[in-house]
């Protein structure tokens, strides 16, 4: 039986920002302490992360931007954007974050591991092809997606992003690429301001971007039901050969930047749901990658709940979790999204709430 892999390494604490910055090394320290516990550590395989090569980073980012990031290594403190701060170790650490993502994908695709969780920083999903943004330097998941496509021979990759904030960088990198499906749920309106229902991809990629903008206050039930009714039918139709998850823990109820109400049990439920999709579509190949999450204890609790689910210590009843969703909040979101996307994915029709489903003329009243 193959194992669960986890990328974690003290090198990720060497990317140092200002004390008041949300993406400070301290957000990972409680989690890393718990991963050292023999009662936890024996349940997974630790993946040693290499640095991504220039060639791998250039699959997504421009040469001029890569050079801009490299130049930060000569300054003890600088900034790539107003909110993306760096130190002299930020470039090599960011390269190792991207490299750890690629290595986890490589081992999962090869069958050495069943699935993996990448607990690296800096995060990546806001990083655009030519610029840093939102604490993100290199777009780890986008680089991993391209490596899977170009170096590992996969034809279709699905990226699922449940971070509090919309993954603008990932969307923009792949919005014209029909081989990568991008699914994002996120608080809206909220930073960075993108991710409306109507953003569905462009040109040949139209229909392979699905945004689910959410108002504040969604919890475990709403997330489970939304993912059941929207992600599952589309994923089964798209048939990805690999699923990558931008796993943001800032949808946790305690997160200082958020307005959602997800608990560690909710993260376990989302993990189970994605695992079930992966088993039906791509032989279970899924890699979860840390994005946001700025309450250190909430991040640790939630990541450990995901590891419990990945390693079979728990098996969440997603149906029961989804049944607890607030129908008034849920149906408005789901129906609006289906109205936007059913021209691309007929599989969504059956997920319309009862009062919105087309009526058969010959049905009994």
pLDDT at 115: 98
Q: Does pLDDT of 356 surpass 70?
A: no
Across residues 260-270, what is the average pLDDT?
Answer: 98
Q: Which residue has the higher pLDDT, 351 or 48?
A: 48
pTM of the predicted structure, to 2 decimals: 0.95
| Structure tokens that stand for 155 in this block | 């034809």
Q: Does pLDDT of 272 surpass 60?
A: yes
pLDDT at 352: 86
Residue 206 sits at φ, ψ, to 5 deg, of -65, 130
Place of tokens 């049944």: 323
| Structure tokens that stand for 213 in this block | 């903008």
pLDDT in tens, 73-88: 999 999 999 999 999 9
Q: Does pLDDT of 364 surpass 80?
A: no
The rounded percent of the chain whose pLDDT value lies above 90 is: 94
Angle of helix 296-310 versus helix 264-281 axis, rounded to 10: 40
Domain 3-354: CATH superfamily is Histone deacetylase domain (3.40.800.20)
Q: Does pLDDT of 353 surpass 90?
A: no
Cα(75)–Cα(330) distance, integer angstroms: 48
Pairing verdict, β 78-81 and 84-86 = antiparallel
Confidence band for 354, pLDDT divided at 50, 70 and 90 = low
3-state class (DSSP) for residue 364: coil
Residue 288 sits at φ, ψ, to 5 deg, of -100, 135
pLDDT at 359: 41
Task: Count how many residues are written for the chain.
Answer: 365
pLDDT in tens, 18-35: 999 999 999 999 999 999
Place of tokens 């936007």: 340
Cα(218)–Cα(284) distance, integer angstroms: 28
Cα(255)–Cα(18) distance, integer angstroms: 19
* Residues classed as catalytic: 126
CA distances from 114 to 19, 73, 161, 242, 277 (A): 38, 36, 20, 12, 14
pLDDT in tens, 120-135: 999 999 999 999 999 9
How much helix, strand and coil, in percent to the nearest 5, is found in the chain?
Answer: 45, 15, 40
pLDDT at 87: 98
pLDDT at 358: 45
pLDDT in tens, 204-219: 999 999 999 999 999 9
**∠152-158-164 over CA atoms, to 5°?**
130
Q: Which helix (H) or strand (E) holds 161?
A: strand 157-161
The rounded percent of the chain whose pLDDT value lies above 70 is: 96
Across residues 329-342, what is the average pLDDT?
Answer: 94
Q: DSSP string spanning 33-65?
A: HHHTSHHHHTTSEEEPPPPPPHHHHTTTS-HHH
- Decide: 220 and 266 in contact? Cβ < 8 Å: yes
User: Would the CA dihedral through 294, 187, 334, 116 be positive or negative?
Assistant: negative
Report which of 293, 213, 217, 316 is spatially closest to residue 261, judged by C-alpha positions: 217
Confidence band for 350, pLDDT divided at 50, 70 and 90 = confident
pLDDT at 360: 37
- Decide: 145 and 244 in contact? Cβ < 8 Å: yes
Across residues 151-173, what is the average pLDDT?
Answer: 98
Confidence band for 1, pLDDT divided at 50, 70 and 90 = very low
pLDDT at 184: 98
According to DSSP, the residues that pair with 158 across neighbouring strands are 181, 243
**∠83-116-219 over CA atoms, to 5°?**
60
Domain regions of the chain by residue span: 3-354
Question: Which range among 49-53, 85-89, 357-361 shows the weakest confidence by mean pLDDT?
Answer: 357-361
């Amino acid at each position: 039986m193959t194992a669960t892999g986890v990328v974690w390494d003290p090198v990720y604490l060497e990317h140092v920002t200002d004390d008041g910055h949300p993406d400070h090394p301290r957000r990972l320290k409680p989690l890393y302490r718990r991963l050292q516990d023999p009662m936890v550590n024996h349940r997974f395989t630790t993946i040693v992360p290499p640095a991504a090569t220039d060639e791998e980073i250039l699959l997504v980012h421009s040469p001029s931007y890569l050079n801009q990031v490299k130049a930060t290594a000569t300054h003890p403190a600088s900034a790539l954007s107003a909110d993306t701060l760096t130190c002299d170790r930020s470039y090599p650490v960011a390269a190792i974050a991207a490299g750890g993502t690629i290595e986890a994908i490589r081992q999962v695709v090869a069958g050495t591991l069943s699935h993996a969780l990448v607990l690296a920083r800096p995060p990546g999903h806001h990083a655009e092809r030519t610029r840093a943004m939102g604490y993100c330097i290199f777009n780890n998941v986008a680089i991993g997606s391209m490596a899977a496509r170009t170096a590992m021979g996969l034809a279709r990759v699905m990226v699922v992003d449940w971070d509090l904030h919309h993954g603008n960088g990932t969307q923009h990198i792949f919005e014209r690429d029909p081989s990568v499906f991008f699914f994002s749920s996120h608080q809206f309106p909220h930073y960075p301001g993108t991710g409306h229902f109507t953003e569905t991809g462009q040109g040949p990629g139209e229909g392979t971007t699905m945004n689910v903008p959410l108002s504040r206050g969604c919890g475990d039930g709403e997330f489970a039901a939304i993912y059941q009714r929207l992600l599952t039918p589309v994923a089964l139709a798209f048939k990805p050969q690999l699923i990558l998850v931008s796993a943001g823990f800032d949808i946790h109820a305690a997160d200082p930047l958020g307005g959602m109400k997800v608990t560690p049990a909710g993260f376990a439920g989302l993990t189970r749901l994605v695992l079930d999709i992966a088993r039906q579509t791509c032989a279970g190949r899924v890699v979860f990658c840390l994005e946001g999450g700025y309450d250190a204890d909430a991040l640790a609790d939630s990541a450990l709940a995901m590891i419990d689910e990945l390693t079979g210590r728990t098996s969440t009843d997603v149906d029961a979790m989804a049944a607890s969703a607030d129908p008034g909040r849920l149906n408005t979101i789901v129906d609006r999204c289906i109205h936007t996307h059913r021209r691309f994915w007929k599989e969504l029709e059956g997920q319309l709430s009862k009062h919105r489903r087309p009526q058969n003329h010959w049905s009994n009243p």
